Structure 1
Amino acid sequence: MKAFERLGIGILSISLLAFSFQTASAEPITVVSWGGSYGKAQDRALFTDASNHSGIAINRESGASMTKTCLQVQSGSVTWDLVVTGSGGAAAAAADGCLEKIDYSVVDVSDFYPGLYTDYCVGSDVFATVMAWNTDKYGEPGSPGAPSSWADFWDVKKFPGTRAYRANNVDGALEPALMADGVPPEKVYEVLATPEGKRRAINKIRELKPHIAVFWGSGAQQAQLMKDAEVDMSTGWNGRFDNAKKDGAKVGYTFNQALLDYDCFAMPKGAPNKEVAMRFLAEVSKPQYQANLPFYITYGPTNRKAYEMTKAPKELIESLPSHPKNVPLMLPVSLDWYAKHKNEALELYMELMSE
């Protein structure tokens, strides 16, 4: 019996050694995210440690885009293995047949919050699209007279000054316009599901366009605009503005009427290293990595165990968009709307951009 045990242990050891060698010696997978403080936060909290612990080497690239992902798939020249994207972008790309299904026999999401993963995307962090402003000009959040709603963002008489808004991507662009036009948050996607609702949102942005000094194209640009005081108000992502504030920017924002959303990992259809990339996705989704993310950018974990493991102070945890006191203030993004309507809405938005 002991001989069989020794034989079994020997075989197991050889198998593990072979597996480790195979993993460590495999071609690096290509993981594509964004740049700026978000990309640095992912590198520090997620990618470096997950790569070291799994033995899976990665090539990190910036410039993540579902449009580029779909172009690779349609051309038959896929070079990316995992792509970071917003949940709405993933929903639209999946509907267009551009993504692989996630293998949940490999990726464990049993401790994820409901709704933060789909058949085609695994949530990496929770963020909010907010309205931010120069606090020297309009006051600190919550102070008398400070902006507090999308109607205030559009009100250039009460809050004179320049604005910045999203360029060339409809994600998070139409919902604020409808709320500014008086549509209750709970009715926004119902209205946007109609042709009239989409045109109403576009026309509301057209109304503001003379006051939009910059259409931003990235999170890094949002932050820089506020750091340089190039604009007085901007839409954008809460974590980018928090990091800009750490760097000295006079910027504040509100979660009121913000869009509650999540970033996720998606895999292009035909990814060259599908099996290895799926194993890396399983590793990077573990709570010990997500628990470190708030130290580098104020985005919340998607894995509930990360909250139990994090050593972040209470004040930092309460500043995350996923904290229970903040969630009721916001409008959760509708993936169903993005899957069905994003392409049509984007055409209208791009027409507006070209005017």
Structure 2
Amino acid sequence: MRKTFSLTVAATLLASGAVAQGTEITIASWGGSYQDAQSKALFEPASAATGVTVKQETYGGMADVRLQVSTGQVTFDIVASGSGSAARAGAEGLLEPLDYNVIDVSNFYPNLYSEYCVGGDVFSTVYAWNTDTYGENGPQSWADFFDAEKFPGSRAYRGSVAGALEPALMADGVPMDQVYEVLSSEEGIERALNKIRELRPNISVFWSSGAQHAQLMKDGEVDMTTGWNGRFDTAAADGAKVDYSFNQALLDYDCFAIPKGAPNKDAAMQFLAEISKPEYQDDLPKYITYGPTNKSAYDTGEISAEVAAGLPSSPENAAMQLPISLEWYAKWETVAAEMYQEMLTE
């Protein structure tokens, strides 16, 4: 019975003239196990359903979109993005507003879509550890992660500011519900940076991608790292000695956006409507342990209670985490990013 709606969907789309058979769209994402999961759960089935040919590329984020838009040479129709990056890119005029008369988000979790980006999955930024080094008794808080005496060993940490300051403040004793209040000043940002400076002698790598931090753990190159839960689960399935905790993790979501001037904007909008449906999103956890943004995906019978319990958006796990504040990133990230890069080059 799975995916038997495909012919009906395709017929409906073709009859409405919304998308022409043979249309090709280009989707850019981040590669690795993440894009592989997107491809298997979302892109390939939706391509079969709609008759739209999907060309996939990997890209370096909104900087690539900015270059395409600024030069008037836009080749991407859809890009995967972090929620904060999309909010800033939209404000900068780099993205097309999404049409929620076309894309149905009526069953989405609150705040998992915006004017310029529709949520595709929910993930967590967690601290992970090498189980050969620490066994099952790894860090259980950010304070533990930053405590090189209690947990000696090498660390990896994010090389950009997104998701890098909040853990440092929690490690420095700031309650989870006060983190963004403290970060809303240059003094608060500096406090977080100083905490990272304390740990820096133990940081051997500042990672720049999910594929990289997963590989660091697979290779046993570091004893602990920050990173994205689904990447670690995939690495563990491949034999990596890695475990992590959701306690004090950062709850965030990835989304899909359409660059300004996308050559196939209308087809892209229809394609986003298609992959936002629960019958696609319920397949994503089969390939990577990120939660669906469409709540109805939990009602199709494809996601077992056992699997749901390991997803970031399950109620029990979400309650332990700090939701990312897009409002803070929209206001403060430019300043914070400059300060962070200065710290990295000291």
User: Which TM-score band (shorter chain)?
Assistant: over 0.9
Name the CA distance, whole Å, in 1 between partners of 2:266 and 2:14: 17
Match of 2:169 in 1: 178
> 1:77 Cα shift?
2.1
> 1:23 Cα shift?
1.3
The Cα offsets for residues 301-346 of structure 1, whole Å up to 9 and x where unpaired, read as: 0001111114233221100010111111000000101111111111
Q: Tell me, yes or no, if the aligned pair for 1:64 and 1:83 is still in contact at 8 Å.
A: no
Residue from 156, 159, 166 that aligns with 2:151: 159
Q: Tell me, yes or no, if the aligned pair for 1:128 and 1:237 is still in contact at 8 Å.
A: yes
Match of 1:282 in 2: 273
SS at match of 1:24: coil
Match of 1:219 in 2: 210
> 1:97 Cα shift?
2.0
Name the CA distance, whole Å, in 1 between partners of 2:300 and 2:102: 22
Name the CA distance, whole Å, in 2 between partners of 1:315 and 1:86: 27
Name the CA distance, whole Å, in 2 between partners of 1:273 and 1:326: 38
Is residue 150 of structure 1 aligned with residue 142 of structure 2? yes
Is residue 124 of structure 1 aligned with residue 120 of structure 2? yes
Residue from 33, 52, 66 that aligns with 2:29: 33
TM-score when normalising by structure 2: 0.93
Name the CA distance, whole Å, in 1 between partners of 2:93 and 2:181: 25
> 1:299 Cα shift?
0.4
Name the CA distance, whole Å, in 1 between partners of 2:193 and 2:40: 39
Gaps of 5+ in 1: 1-12
Name the CA distance, whole Å, in 2 between partners of 1:61 and 1:318: 32
Name the CA distance, whole Å, in 2 between partners of 1:79 and 1:348: 33
Is residue 233 of structure 1 aligned with residue 224 of structure 2? yes
Match of 2:63 in 1: 67
Name the CA distance, whole Å, in 2 between partners of 1:331 and 1:16: 43
Gaps of 5+ in 2: 1-10
Moved more, 242-251 or 75-84: 75-84
SS at match of 2:66: helix
Residue from 259, 262, 268 that aligns with 1:268: 259
Name the CA distance, whole Å, in 1 between partners of 2:333 and 2:225: 22
Match of 1:9 in 2: none
Name the CA distance, whole Å, in 2 between partners of 1:82 and 1:16: 20
Say which one has the larger Rg. 1
The Cα offsets for residues 187-212 of structure 1, whole Å up to 9 and x where unpaired, read as: 11111111111111122112211111
SS at match of 2:21: helix
Residue from 324, 327, 330 that aligns with 1:333: 324
Is residue 319 of structure 1 aligned with residue 315 of structure 2? no
> 1:64 Cα shift?
4.5
Match of 2:80 in 1: 84
Match of 1:252 in 2: 243
Equivalence map 1:293-312=2 (5 Å): 293-312=284-303
The Cα offsets for residues 25-61 of structure 1, whole Å up to 9 and x where unpaired, read as: 33x1111111111111011100000111011111101
Match of 1:199 in 2: 190
Match of 2:135 in 1: 139
Superposition RMSD in Å: 1.7
Match of 2:101 in 1: 105
Name the CA distance, whole Å, in 2 between partners of 1:279 and 1:207: 49
SS at match of 1:325: helix
- When residues 323 and 17 of structure 1 are mapped into structure 2, their CA distance, relative to the original with a 3 A threshold, is closer
Name the CA distance, whole Å, in 2 between partners of 1:64 and 1:41: 18
> 1:99 Cα shift?
1.4
Match of 2:5 in 1: none
Residue from 323, 327, 336 that aligns with 1:345: 336
Q: Tell me, yes or no, if the aligned pair for 1:174 and 1:198 is still in contact at 8 Å.
A: yes
Match of 2:20 in 1: 23
Equivalence map 1:1-16=2 (5 Å): 16=14
Q: Tell me, yes or no, if the aligned pair for 1:92 and 1:340 is still in contact at 8 Å.
A: no
Name the CA distance, whole Å, in 2 between partners of 1:222 and 1:347: 23
**Aligned amino acid, residue 92 of structure 1:** R
- When residues 321 and 17 of structure 1 are mapped into structure 2, their CA distance, relative to the original with a 3 A threshold, is closer
SS at match of 2:272: helix
Identity value in percent: 61
TM-score when normalising by structure 1: 0.91
Q: Tell me, yes or no, if the aligned pair for 1:292 and 1:310 is still in contact at 8 Å.
A: no
Name the CA distance, whole Å, in 2 between partners of 1:281 and 1:83: 11
**Aligned amino acid, residue 226 of structure 1:** M
> 1:18 Cα shift?
8.8
Is residue 44 of structure 1 aligned with residue 40 of structure 2? yes
Name the CA distance, whole Å, in 2 between partners of 1:302 and 1:199: 34
Name the CA distance, whole Å, in 1 between partners of 2:208 and 2:41: 25
**Aligned amino acid, residue 238 of structure 2:** D
SS at match of 1:260: strand
The Cα offsets for residues 74-119 of structure 1, whole Å up to 9 and x where unpaired, read as: 2322221111011111112122222111111111111111111011
